[in-house]
Chains A and B, each alone.
Chain A
Amino acid sequence: MSDGTLSPQERLTLGALRYAVNDEAGSYLAIMRLFTDGISGFLSDQSADEVTERLHEHGIDLDRDTVDQRLSYLVEHGNLARSPRETEARSVREYLSNRARYQLTARGELVQRQVEELLTRSEGAREVSSEMLPGILSGLTGLVAVCERDLDGADPAQLATRIATVFAQFEVLVTSTRQFYAYLAQVLTRFDLGRDEFVSFKSALIDYLQRFVDEISQHMPQVGDQLLRLEPTIPALCERAAESGGLKGLDGSSARRSTGLSAEDWSSLHTWFIGSADRRADADNVRRLATDALRALLTNLRRLAAGADRHQSRYGDLVRLASWFDDADDEVSHALWANAFGLFPARHVSFAAETDGDPVPSTKSWWDAPAAEVPIGLRVRGERQAGGRASQRVDYSTAKQARLRERREAEQRLRRAATELAAHAGPVTDLRISDEARGALLDLYAAALARVGRPLGAADQARAELTTSGVAVALLVDREPGSQLRLTSPSGVLVLHDLRCKLVATGEVRDPRDPHTPPRASVLDQADERSPDPLAMRSAGGEDR
């Protein structure tokens, strides 16, 4: 078990549970009940015929062969055993004939008891057996008296009986409390209690508080006192009680003692009533849990009281709806979905009819009224074009790619122009350049003058810079009467008078793979948002080639 796997022996033992969960669990359970319940349960062994007959009395008709099979399965898994017999059989048939009798094994008995318990009371509220408390108290008081008077003179058998009684009562108390614990945990997690459930939870809790908490607070201190008084003498007490003699197993070892006869057993009693260093008393825990549960109930009560539309527990409604869905056919289930949840969108047809401006009287028939002309473009080769206005949402990705490409090309053109201008660095009077470089130069010129913002004075110098990914070039302009700049390009000649211009290559050529260079796409996106100002040509972005 330590590594999480079951040993073969444990696996075999748990196999005894199998009859309760397989497909024929109903008939297996009925058979096991014959061995454990009522009058028939007192019979130590039963034959297959008797089993068949009794099953029939309970309204279960199984033929003899099936019963044989079922019994044989139960024998296989250790729930039943065949009674020892004297005569020797010569065939299977004879072996299984009515001389074969079956009896319950210890394991079978235990499993069936647990199964019945699981079936009957796994979910419901279980009353805490608080009436056990006075019994435990008086038992303990008696033991204390014996210990303090004359332990050595006490009858071991009687002592053992008393101890066993106390522990039996304690076990009932603990079991019932544990079940109540589990039940309360359910209340704590539920927020959607129906009215009926709320009432039952409420009464269970209030009864509980009244009875159990009262009694616990009444008896707990006394039980605790007695336990503390008893504590020093527990080893001696256990020893004395054990002198009554125990049963020896076949292999000579002692059989399991009933609880309470060894000193360790008493520690659990202490933990429960008094608590230990690192643990509160369980009784306290239960009390606290009850308080929490009450709070949860109050939350539910508030919900029940608020809002007319939500007072109903929707659980029941939805469960019913689920079964309707499951029984419906496709068509009905779609309709049920639409009506129960009402999440359908509105549905309309589109395209207004062409009325040539004349309103169509409401009494005109559709058969005679003007129709809406709908153009359909059927795309050959399986591709389709949206028909007229009734197009789908347009996919812009192709357009976006095209814009990005244009942007990239513009960048490259700009860089070429800047490179060309940079090659003419120095004072310029006569330039032969390409159209693109000319455009870039004029933009620079315009930007420079625009930046000055007023007519260029004698002392003013205008400056503008063009930065691309690889090249940066600046234009300096100042006033110089008499000088001129002659620009020659394929589209013509441009002469600027009374100006002295100078081109300066300002930037080093940066590595486009520079890690500080922002990624291309974001640069382009920023560029998209800029105004069409000449300076928009400034770009700090990296190029991809």
Chain B
Amino acid sequence: MTSPSPEVSTVDPYADAERRRAARALLRTPLLHLDRGADDLALVRRHQRELIAMFAEGLGYRLVVEPGLARLMKVGLGPDGTRPLLRRNGSPFTPRRYAFLALTLAALTRTRRQVMVDEVVAGVRSAATDAGVDVDLDSIHDRRALHSALTALVDLGILTERDGDLEHWVERHTESLLDVHRDRLAVLVAAPLASCQTPEDVLAVQEVPSAAGGARIAVRRALTESPVVSTEDLTEDQSGWWRRNREREREWFSRWLGLDLEIRAEGALALDPDEELSDVTFPGAGSARHAALLLLAELTEAARTGAEPSDLQTGVSQDGSRTWRPVAASTARAASDRLLRSWRRGLRKAHREDPDLLFAEAMQILVSLGLVREGPGVVHVHAAAARYAPRAELVTASGPKGERSLFEEDEDGG
């Protein structure tokens, strides 16, 4: 215990690869347990000593490893509304549904290990009173919202349906017996809620003093979690650290997380050669993503030509507009309509018929990736947008022999 343990793993490429896989699994699924990611959990447990140290020192994340679970406490994302909890049908949760989720969790902290769903409802009623949230659990709307919360918790592995029919609880008041996984429930909340007095406190990013690795943690977190990091968004402290260490960081990211850094003047991004460490695959398949990529190329072109020539030559400007370049919203919309005209036959039916929908979905993807920012009457394009040069072509539906391709998707797929 007292002597420093030898770093055996550094010379064992197999262990390195295992540890990398475990770290990536945690970044993708921050709560691993026996019902979800049991294999990855075994890897995490095997390498927990190095992983706990790496996440704490490198990213400022606490990693909790228990016999049945591993939980990476990801905090400090800041106000980012592009990562909602999704319902089973893919639509994002509403505030009401989130509220029910929190109320259900509150109720579950007070229940036994097994509950009937009506006991949960009683608990939610009383928690709602404590929260001052006006609920009417006899109404179909609130029952649906509660049902979404329950199914989300089932999907997260906090609840397991032991018996019964939770599926039809809303309409038919069916009974359901639920197992509560206390150990998972206990590690579900990542933020220090007890010390938060307002919602803004939850969204505020905890400042870590630079001496304690604050700059390193902030920059690495941004590179790990978000698609694009801009130098201009860094504090003076952070950008100083970044200038000094960026080349060395390539090695850290590649060794621990298997990510390649693309470092440019305006910032950096982390590329995953395996294209699996992301909830949004971009560029990716599907009509909307194809359109988003094509639109991005158009916007980049417009941003280039719209900029002052002097800026383009020097590549520098005083107000930092080198990173973000404006394009009029009307120009963006026109570009979207133009690409619809050019590639109409290759787009999904709904997109062919509704140019507004096409533009909205494409923009939503680009915004969620941080490549584009929407302002009043203007669209700001990030420099990283220029890293893509799509080469589109129309492909006929059937191959030369008329057989269907293995890679064909359904109309709504992707």
B131 and A323: CB pair below 8 A? yes
A379 and B269: CB pair below 8 A? no
Contact with B along A210-243 (1 / 0, CB 8 A): 0000000000000000000000000000000000
A379 proximity list for chain B (CB < 8 A): 346, 394-395, 397, 408
A190 proximity list for chain B (CB < 8 A): 110
* B65, CB-defined interface residue at 8 Å: no
Q: How far is the CA of A313 from the CA of B278 in the complex (A)?
A: 34
- A317, A362, A374: residue with the most chain B Cβ atoms closer than 10 Å: A374
From A330, A350, A399, B94 is in contact (CB under 8 Å) with A330
* B49, CB-defined interface residue at 8 Å: no
- A342, A352, A380: residue with the most chain B Cβ atoms closer than 10 Å: A342
Q: How far is the CA of A331 from the CA of B406 in the complex (A)?
A: 39
Instruction: Please give the number of chain A residues whose Cβ is less than 8 angstroms from any Cβ of chain B in the complex.
Output: 83
A348 and B269: CB pair below 8 A? yes
Minimum distance in angstroms from B44 CB to a CB of chain A = 16
A342 and B81: CB pair below 8 A? no
A346 and B193: CB pair below 8 A? no
Q: How far is the CA of A340 from the CA of B80 in the complex (A)?
A: 12
A322 proximity list for chain B (CB < 8 A): 99-100, 102-103, 106, 127-128, 131, 133
B30 and A343: CB pair below 8 A? yes
* A338, CB-defined interface residue at 8 Å: yes
B391 proximity list for chain A (CB < 8 A): 373-376
A-binding segment of B14-22, B184-192, B209-217, B372-380: B184-192
Contact with A along B183-204 (1 / 0, CB 8 A): 0001011110110101100110
Contact with B along A353-393 (1 / 0, CB 8 A): 10000001011111111011111111111111111111110
Interface residues of B (CB under 8 A from A): 27-31, 72-85, 92-96, 98-103, 105-106, 109-112, 127-128, 130-133, 156, 182, 186, 188-191, 193-194, 196, 198-199, 202-203, 224-228, 246-247, 259-260, 262-266, 269-273, 275, 277-287, 290, 293-294, 304, 312, 315, 322, 343, 345-349, 352, 368-369, 371, 383-397, 404-409, 411, 413-414
From B31, B96, B286, B369, A343 is in contact (CB under 8 Å) with B31
A348 and B194: CB pair below 8 A? no
B77 and A336: CB pair below 8 A? no
B290 proximity list for chain A (CB < 8 A): 376, 378, 384, 387
A332 and B81: CB pair below 8 A? yes
A362, closest chain B residue (CB) = B263
A333 proximity list for chain B (CB < 8 A): 84, 93-95, 98
B80 proximity list for chain A (CB < 8 A): 334-335, 338
A347 and B369: CB pair below 8 A? yes
Q: How far is the CA of A491 from the CA of B41 in the complex (A)?
A: 59
Minimum distance in angstroms from B152 CB to a CB of chain A = 10
Q: How far is the CA of A391 from the CA of B283 in the complex (A)?
A: 9
Minimum distance in angstroms from B403 CB to a CB of chain A = 9
Minimum distance in angstroms from B273 CB to a CB of chain A = 7
Q: How far is the CA of A347 from the CA of B389 in the complex (A)?
A: 21
Minimum distance in angstroms from A448 CB to a CB of chain B = 40
B390, closest chain A residue (CB) = A374
A413 proximity list for chain B (CB < 8 A): none
B345 proximity list for chain A (CB < 8 A): 378, 380-381
